[in-house]
Amino acid sequence: MAPGFFFILTKIFASMLRFIALTVLAYFIFKWLDRFFGGGRPSGPAKSSTKKKSSTFSKNVGEYVDYEEVKDDEK
């Protein structure tokens, strides 16, 4: 193999590593900025989600009815 091949392979690997590192860095910067500026969340104390939500429908919804197709007798 030619020495130029390893040089190109090294450049590609370095570029990929640089891209991944910059992507991870940008992710953490945006995550920090989101926390810093509130991210659209209210700044009050967090509500606990231990309350049980009431059901929107009653337990007595009826019974299952099985319908059968009835053919009309034509005369």
Six-digit token string for 69? 């197709």
Query: What is the gyration radius of the CA atoms in the chain, in angstroms?
Result: 32
Q: What are the respective helix, strand and coil percentages of the chain, to the nearest 5? A: 45, 0, 55
pLDDT digits (tens, 9 = 90+) for 46-72: 665 565 666 565 667 777 778 888 888
pLDDT digits (tens, 9 = 90+) for 6-39: 889 999 999 999 999 999 999 999 999 998 888 6
Question: Model pTM greater than 0.85?
Answer: no
Q: Where are the alpha helices (DSSP H) in the chain?
A: 3-37
